Amino acid sequence: MDLKNEIVCCFKFMNLILEPKVLDKCEYLCKKYDVEPEEFCNIWCAFAASAMCTDAPTLQQLEQVERRELQKLNNSCPKTPKSNRVENRKNEEKEIKDGENLLGSDEGPIVTYGRIFNDGKGQLDMHSIMLEGTAELNSGQCVHLNIDKVHDKAIFPGQVVVVKGKMLSGDKLIAESLYTDAIGDLSLEPAVTEDPLRIIAAAGPFTLDENLDYDPMRDLLEYVSTNKPHVLILMGPFIDENHPIISKGDIAVRYDAFFENLIESISAALEDTNIQIVVISSMKDVHHHKVYPTPPYKLRENYPNIKYFPDPCLFKINDLILGATTTDIMYHIAKEEVVTMKKSDTLSRLPAHILQQRCFYPLYPPNSEVNVSYQFLESYGMMERLPHVLLLPSKFKTFAKNIQGCVVLNPERLTKGNIGGAFADLSISPGQTPTAERLNCKILNI
């Protein structure tokens, strides 16, 4: 497939049709900046989200994209060909053994920080680790990072680390210590509550793959109506773009109208109660923005018992601070991280990464399913405060874990293919002691 056709396919996937002159401009920019069509489309999506644009690009907008985004690519770090990595590694190991005595008093240990990234294509491994410095500290200089001396490590691309070590030959850093935890900078006061608080949380998809009847959603709403929590948290997707019927386009109504009807039915099912409904958006919703962070849903009708939040989000219920993201960041990190710990609990280590990095999506580059706007991520994807409860729905099995005072919860998804999934029922008892000590969580199958 030639370059133009690849560009057409990428934009068609986003339901965007390019005019001939616009297509020619896209082809020119891809060639000029050596950008793959898929990456170019992702760059456009991030720009379009910031400009609140849902239409295909214009020539004027592409010029803005070039100035704001593509010209930055000229400053990116060069890649090391994969074929040279093994030989480079052998040479590096020899330099470490033969020249370690040169690293003593003449250079002494240094302390620096930066971001982990991969020096080539493929998955990160012990031979391809690099450290990208900050513009303020060392003008974004990139060095190879050797972590053979660091025990019990778990690293992934995009992870911000502090390194204590010694420089070798000017472009190799031999790490003696590696620090990744920034939780200590975030304060967490107990959530002072005078009355019991009950929260039910569920994540989509909310219907089975074989139909669009939303029977699991109705079963959930029946449970909620019977048990009467104070708050119901519903995390998207609501109309999953990967649903077999949706992906084929076998639906008679507009997606936005379908979504409006679905939200109306949720509101109506609980309108005779005092239950507040929190709805968190998802970029996997076929009718919504395909960018992360994802803005909240906007509906024509106003429902007084429903509040809408973006993905990710931090919000308060009385004094209780909750954080949530509908994107499966734990699964994405698990596919990329390098772990050398002899004993490590995966389901504690993965959510700890998110808290330690103080970021809802610290992986870079992102998973191919996620179109990240880094301008928005810096503004809306960071944790300014440590939440008392962090909701991370994932493909992994359900869990609830206390990680440095934060209860991290994976309620799974309400449906999994053609079978029912699970949801969470949380109760927080009154008091002033640490919130994790007063929280009880039940994971229930639908």
Q: Is the pTM of this model over 0.85?
A: no
Is 197-445 assigned to CATH 3.60.21.60?
A: yes
pLDDT computed for residue 99 by the predictor: 43
pLDDT computed for residue 398 by the predictor: 93
Which of 60, 62, 46 lies closest to 370, judged by CA? Answer: 46
Q: How far apart (Å, rounded) are the C-alpha atoms in residues 275 and 305?
A: 7
Question: What are the residue boundaries of the structural domains of the chain, listed by start?
Answer: 3-71, 96-180, 197-445
pLDDT computed for residue 402 by the predictor: 95
Q: How far apart (Å, rounded) are the C-alpha atoms in residues 283 and 367?
A: 13
Q: How far apart (Å, rounded) are the C-alpha atoms in residues 277 and 223?
A: 14
Beta strands in 257-371 (DSSP E): 276-280, 306-309, 313-317, 320-324, 338-339
Backbone angles phi, psi at 272, to 5 degrees: -90, 10
pLDDT computed for residue 122 by the predictor: 79
Q: How far apart (Å, rounded) are the C-alpha atoms in residues 413 and 207?
A: 10
Whether the CB-CB separation of 326 and 282 falls below 8 Å is answered with yes
- The half-sphere exposure of 105 on its side-chain side, counting CA atoms within 13 A, is 0
Whether the CB-CB separation of 392 and 408 falls below 8 Å is answered with yes
Q: What pairs with residue 359 in β-bridges?
A: 382
Q: How far apart (Å, rounded) are the C-alpha atoms in residues 48 and 430?
A: 45
Which residues, 6+ apart, have CB-to-CB distance to 281 below 8 Å? 236, 288, 294, 295, 296, 297, 308, 309, 310, 311, 326
pLDDT computed for residue 77 by the predictor: 44
Whether the CB-CB separation of 276 and 232 falls below 8 Å is answered with yes
Which of 83, 27, 18, 88 lies closest to 57, judged by CA? Answer: 18
User: Both tokens of residue 394?
Assistant: 């994932």
Q: What pairs with residue 415 in β-bridges?
A: 420
pLDDT computed for residue 263 by the predictor: 98
CATH of span 96-180: 2.40.50.140
**3-class DSSP string for 8-38:** HHHHHHCCCCCCHHHHHHHHHHHHHCCCCHH
Q: How far apart (Å, rounded) are the C-alpha atoms in residues 328 and 299?
A: 25
pLDDT computed for residue 121 by the predictor: 72
- Give the three-state DSSP class for 442: strand
pLDDT computed for residue 93 by the predictor: 53
| Gyration radius (Cα) of the chain, Å | 24
Which of 137, 45, 2, 109 lies closest to 374, judged by CA? Answer: 45
Per-residue pLDDT of the chain (446 residues; tens, 9 = 90+): 789 998 988 787 666 789 999 999 999 999 999 888 877 887 887 777 666 566 789 999 999 899 888 887 765 444 444 444 445 555 555 554 544 443 344 478 888 899 999 987 778 988 899 999 877 766 678 899 999 999 888 999 999 999 999 988 768 999 999 999 888 767 678 888 789 999 999 999 999 999 999 999 999 999 999 999 999 999 999 999 999 999 988 888 999 999 999 999 999 999 999 999 999 999 999 999 999 999 999 999 999 999 999 999 999 999 999 999 999 999 999 999 998 887 778 999 999 999 999 999 999 999 999 999 998 999 999 998 899 999 999 999 999 999 989 999 999 999 999 999 999 999 999 998 999 999 999 999 99
